[in-house]
Chains A and B, each alone.
Chain A
Amino acid sequence: MTFNSLQFLVFFMVVTLWFFRLKTQKGRIWLLLIASCYFYMSFIPEYILILGGTIVVDYFAGFLIEKNVGAARKLWMVLSLIANIGALAVFKYYNFFLGNINTAFQVLGKTMDLPFLKMALPIGLSFHTFQAMSYTIEVYRGKQKAERNFVVYALYVMFYPQLVAGPIERPQNVLPQLKEFRAYNWDNVKEGLARMLWGFFKKVVIADRLAMVADRTFGHTPESSSVALLIGAVFYSFQIYCDFSGYSDIALGAAKVMNISLMENFKQPYLSKGIHEFWSRWHISLSSWFRDYVYIPLGGNRKGSLRRKINVAVVFLLSGLWHGANWTFIVWGALHGLFVILLVGNSNELKEGRPAFVNTLRVIVNFTLVTFLWIFFRSENLSNALSYIQQIFSLKGGTHYIGISKVEFLFSLALIAIMMLREKYAAGHYIASNSRFYIYTAFMVLACYFFGVFIENQFIYFQF
């Protein structure tokens, strides 16, 4: 069940109305857990067993970590991490590593036909395993008490708005909210719905429209002109932003309607003046997860320049691998890491107080860099990515067709401008006046319907 589907709209309406009709928090938690199970099972029903398995392991691991001290405490934490990472390794990375081993043997002139796992990647596996690991690590650090109520803990992992594509939450933020009964709040409902509508607009009107261009240029690279390929790359940058941040807006909005505040995941990353700043604004819940649970435990920047660079490289390589079992993601992560190491080492990167035109230029340069790195992220393999980049710089001719008409191209540019301006100058979603809220709602519904591109596209980050 994707957010941009009729099924979700009906599901959301039923669950939310029912949620506010229940008079106890216990009833609400059960309702949300059952709804979340249905939501997850609507993708591939059987995969709930994998999710259920990790929930049970982490629930009991939380107790055991809390109860023990010293080596035993650490042992239970490590076992819990092994269970979660093991699930990721088997279901997400097994075939990738196996493929590489087979290839390596072929290069050596030997055959090693190891059997591949014939199953699709469980939806959102990387998101909910990371959220589960966050819980056990926080319990281990003593910053979070082990949750006694299994239903509450299961809902912490499975809360449907953020189950399959984040934000990757922390137990300290979500668990207390799940346990507290909060009365119906019209202001929260308005803010949540307005945010959801903005998320839908970014997904179905902007991201899926830009996807037609990106799909065309990345699918027809050899015959496309350099200009067409460049437009495709730039449009993909905005597509992935509108797709993922649109998903986050819907997730945060849906939770807000039910009086639950989730962490922000994006803060206008394409207005960043450098790559370091970009990573403090893009997919914040993941970058802060790596910061708190990998970078700082490795020593962060406390153990000298060389160690800091190694730590940054490790974090970005892991970040690339987190996104997918493909060399394109690993190279994408590695290059981001390389640029963070090179540019943050330069003291100019973090210097503030420059003239406006210099800052504007830095934003443009940073966006260009990020866009070129997205080419690795979007391409099916490294060869295609390099070919795409090479053909942009070759300034060759070819077809300028980008999958949409000139009118729609100009319309797409206007939509990007509207989106950027709206998020820069009117970032909030709360509308105090009821009449203005109703007008906004009507306008956004009509805009989403008449200008939406309904092609049942899944959100890009569902695959992770």
Chain B
Amino acid sequence: MGKRILSYVFIVLGLAALVISTSRNAMQYISEKRDTTAWWGAYPCLNGDLVSLSYLDAVKRFNPPPDHTPFMHAAHAPSDNIVLYLHGDSYTYHLSDSVFTGTSAFHYIDRNHGMEFSLDSSKRNILIIEVSERYIRPYFSTLRILDEVGNTSKNKQAQTTVFANGQDISYASLIPSFDVNDLFNKYINQNLQCNLFNYNFIIPVFEYKAALNYYVFNRASGDVVISKDKNFLFLKETVSLTDAGSSYTHLNENDIKQLVSNFNTIYTHYRKQGFKEVYLSMIPNAASVVQPEGYNKLIPRIQSDTALKMKIIDAYSLFKNNPALYYLPGDTHWNSRGKQAWIDMVNEYLKQQQL
């Protein structure tokens, strides 16, 4: 009798784990609500996403150094006649209009969600496409941006955040939808890992394994790779020989030409839609600048292509000279100094637009 009840309990718990881990909404709710401080709370991820991914918090060299650069606000501009649209990814999350020069409004377009817009014809509408290197080929080898970002967006479920003078104007609602692919969430294993094992009291077990790998086998666990100079962690997909987002995957001239052609199509399309200028800013993978030997030079090859119509905000040339200054050792992203350097570059271009 006891075994029977126990088996039903496990069936129900197992089904619940599968269903919850499949549901995007449930996972979003859980991730927002979970405490990180209690012993049953979620792993707080304090030292960088790659450190967290590999459970190497105990290795001090991968912890973020004290970052002394204060996050600067933009200098005041004579007129606020620019409406800035920034199509970006996690590198440019959490920016507000106060950091950009001369903007009357700032619209952030998350690449994962898309957005529909309505241009203000009384202002200078500027579009900046920021893309981290590992997403250049996966995203811009097609023209899906034209479907996802436009005056007549097909993506009615788009979540958009619009800022003006530092205040949120609106949030599009998350409309529940059903698609057969929702039943087969490709992130179910990460979600199960999170639901079943992401508790502070279990984390030491993961850290023991990570320590075993690091100190005995001299490597990180899972999807994280240690740089040759031992000072940085890289996401494995950025250093493999086969992933499209890798800095070391072989690229032939046709690959570059195809990307340039797509960027030109995107440029022409948005100029026709009413943007005064469209800028492209490609943020290099940490591996591209920290470990340049064997780099496929995706960014410099695109930037130097004479057929490219888009204007470039060149982060690569700045970051390659001193990557340690701009990148976090245990994170896929730049540090606040890198972010500020990029904002400064953007502001230089925005000043030119005001002239």
Tell me which of B99-107, B153-161, B184-192, B257-265 binds A: B184-192
Let me know if A450 and B209 touch, CB within 8 A: yes
Let me know if A408 and B189 touch, CB within 8 A: no
Asked if B10 CB lies within 8 Å of chain A CBs, one says yes
The one of A11, A45, A407, A449 that contacts B183, using a Cβ cutoff of 8 Å: A45
Asked if A97 CB lies within 8 Å of chain B CBs, one says no
Given contact pairs A11-B18, A13-B10, A405-B218, A6 touches B209 in the complex (Cβ within 8 A): no
Given contact pairs A407-B216, A455-B222, A14 touches B15 in the complex (Cβ within 8 A): yes
| Chain A positions 431 through 453: 1 when the CB is less than 8 Å from some CB of chain B, otherwise 0 | 00000000000000000011000
Closest CB in chain A relative to B236 CB, distance in Å: 7
The number of chain B residues with a CB under 8 A from chain A is: 32
A398 and B209 alpha carbons, distance in the complex (Å): 33
Closest CB in chain A relative to B254 CB, distance in Å: 15
Report chain B residues within 8 Å CB of A393.
none
A450 and B181 alpha carbons, distance in the complex (Å): 33
Report chain A residues within 8 Å CB of B223.
455-456
A171-203 with Cβ < 8 A to chain B: none
Asked if B169 CB lies within 8 Å of chain A CBs, one says no
**Which single residue of chain B is at the shortest CB-CB distance from A13?**
B14
Given contact pairs A21-B4, A455-B222, A7 touches B188 in the complex (Cβ within 8 A): yes
A314 and B66 alpha carbons, distance in the complex (Å): 68
Asked if A10 CB lies within 8 Å of chain B CBs, one says yes
Q: In the complex, how many residue pairs between chain A and chain B have their CB atoms under 8 Å apart?
A: 70
Asked if B77 CB lies within 8 Å of chain A CBs, one says no
Let me know if A407 and B8 touch, CB within 8 A: no
Let me know if A14 and B14 touch, CB within 8 A: yes
Asked if A17 CB lies within 8 Å of chain B CBs, one says yes
A98 and B14 alpha carbons, distance in the complex (Å): 46
Report chain B residues within 8 Å CB of A7.
18, 21, 188-189, 192
Let me know if A408 and B184 touch, CB within 8 A: no
The SS class assigned to the B binding surface is helix
| Chain A positions 402 through 431: 1 when the CB is less than 8 Å from some CB of chain B, otherwise 0 | 001101100100000000000000000000
A41 and B184 alpha carbons, distance in the complex (Å): 7
Report chain B residues within 8 Å CB of A42.
184, 188
| Chain A positions 200 through 218: 1 when the CB is less than 8 Å from some CB of chain B, otherwise 0 | 0000000000000001000
Report chain A residues within 8 Å CB of B15.
14
A215 and B246 alpha carbons, distance in the complex (Å): 15
A231 and B28 alpha carbons, distance in the complex (Å): 46
B192-218 with Cβ < 8 A to chain A: 192-193, 196, 208-209, 212, 216-218
Closest CB in chain B relative to A46 CB, distance in Å: 8
Let me know if A6 and B184 touch, CB within 8 A: no
Closest CB in chain B relative to A460 CB, distance in Å: 15
The one of A17, A215, A456 that contacts B10, using a Cβ cutoff of 8 Å: A17
| Chain B positions 246 through 260: 1 when the CB is less than 8 Å from some CB of chain A, otherwise 0 | 000000000000000
A41 and B4 alpha carbons, distance in the complex (Å): 30
Report chain B residues within 8 Å CB of A20.
7
A6, A17, A20, A41 interface centre (most CB from chain B within 10 Å)? A6
Asked if A116 CB lies within 8 Å of chain B CBs, one says no
Asked if A5 CB lies within 8 Å of chain B CBs, one says yes
Report chain A residues within 8 Å CB of B218.
405, 407-408
A219 and B243 alpha carbons, distance in the complex (Å): 12
**Which single residue of chain B is at the shortest CB-CB distance from A2?**
B189
Closest CB in chain A relative to B216 CB, distance in Å: 6
The one of B11, B188, B219 that contacts A17, using a Cβ cutoff of 8 Å: B11
Given contact pairs A10-B18, A407-B217, A449 touches B209 in the complex (Cβ within 8 A): yes
Asked if B63 CB lies within 8 Å of chain A CBs, one says no
Let me know if A454 and B221 touch, CB within 8 A: yes
Let me know if A456 and B189 touch, CB within 8 A: yes
**Which single residue of chain A is at the shortest CB-CB distance from B208?**
A450
Let me know if A45 and B189 touch, CB within 8 A: no
Closest CB in chain B relative to A44 CB, distance in Å: 8
Let me know if B219 and A404 touch, CB within 8 A: yes
B222-240 with Cβ < 8 A to chain A: 222-223, 236
Asked if B17 CB lies within 8 Å of chain A CBs, one says yes
A234 and B184 alpha carbons, distance in the complex (Å): 37
Closest CB in chain B relative to A218 CB, distance in Å: 9
Given contact pairs A45-B183, A219-B241, A404-B217, A454 touches B222 in the complex (Cβ within 8 A): yes
Asked if A293 CB lies within 8 Å of chain B CBs, one says no
Known interface pairs A17-B10, A18-B11; 13 further A-B residue pairs with C-beta atoms within 8 A, sorted by A's residue number: A5-B189, A6-B193, A10-B17, A11-B14, A13-B10, A14-B14, A17-B7, A20-B7, A42-B184, A404-B219, A454-B221, A454-B222, A455-B223
Q: Could you list 11 A-B pairs, sorted by A, with CB under 8 Å?
A: A7-B192, A10-B192, A10-B196, A14-B18, A17-B10, A17-B11, A18-B11, A215-B241, A411-B217, A450-B209, A450-B212
**4 nearest interchain CB pairs?**
A14-B14, A405-B218, A219-B241, A6-B192
